[in-house]
Structure 1
Amino acid sequence: MTSRSNGVEVTGLHHVQIACPAGAEDDLRGFYTGVLGLPEIPKPPALAARGGCWFAVGIHHELHCGVEEPFVPARKAHPCLLVADVDAAADAVAAAGGEVRWDEAIPGMRRFHTDDPCGNRVELQQVRAS
Structure 2
Amino acid sequence: MRLHHVQVAIPAGGEGEARRFWVDALGMTEVDKPSELRARGGLWVRGGAAEVHLGVEEPFQPARKAHPALLLESVAELEDVASRLQQAGFEVDHTQRESFPGHVRVHAFDGHGNRVELLATGP
Q: Could you tell me the TM-score, scaled by structure 1's length?
A: 0.85
Which residue does the alignment assign to 2:80? Answer: 88
Take 1:32 and 1:61, find their aligned partners in 2: how far apart are those partners? 12
Q: Deviations over 1:48-90 (max 9, x none)?
A: 10000000131x3310000000000000000111223111111
In the TM superposition, what is the alpha-carbon distance from 1:115 to its structure 2 partner?
A: 0.5
Take 2:10 and 2:64, find their aligned partners in 1: how far apart are those partners? 13
- Give 1:121's match in structure 2, choosing from 112, 115, 120: 115
Which residue does the alignment assign to 1:43? Answer: 33
Which residue does the alignment assign to 2:67? Answer: 78
Contact 2:27 2:47 in 1 (8 A): no
What is the root-mean-square deviation in Å for CA atoms of aligned residues?
A: 1.3
Structure 1's unaligned 5+ residue stretches are: 1-10
Q: What is the number of residues matched between the two proteins?
A: 117
| Runs of 4+ displaced beyond 2 Å | none
Bigger CA radius of gyration: 1
Select between 71-80 and 87-96 the one with higher mean Cα deviation.
Answer: 87-96
Which residue does the alignment assign to 1:112? Answer: 106
- Kindly report which structure 2 residues correspond to 1:1-20, keeping only aligned pairs within 5 A, or say none: 11-20=1-10
Instruction: Write the letter of the residue equivalent to 1:44.
Output: P
Q: Could you tell me the TM-score, scaled by structure 2's length?
A: 0.89
Take 2:63 and 2:115, find their aligned partners in 1: how far apart are those partners? 6
Which residue does the alignment assign to 1:3? Answer: none
In the TM superposition, what is the alpha-carbon distance from 1:105 to its structure 2 partner?
A: 1.5
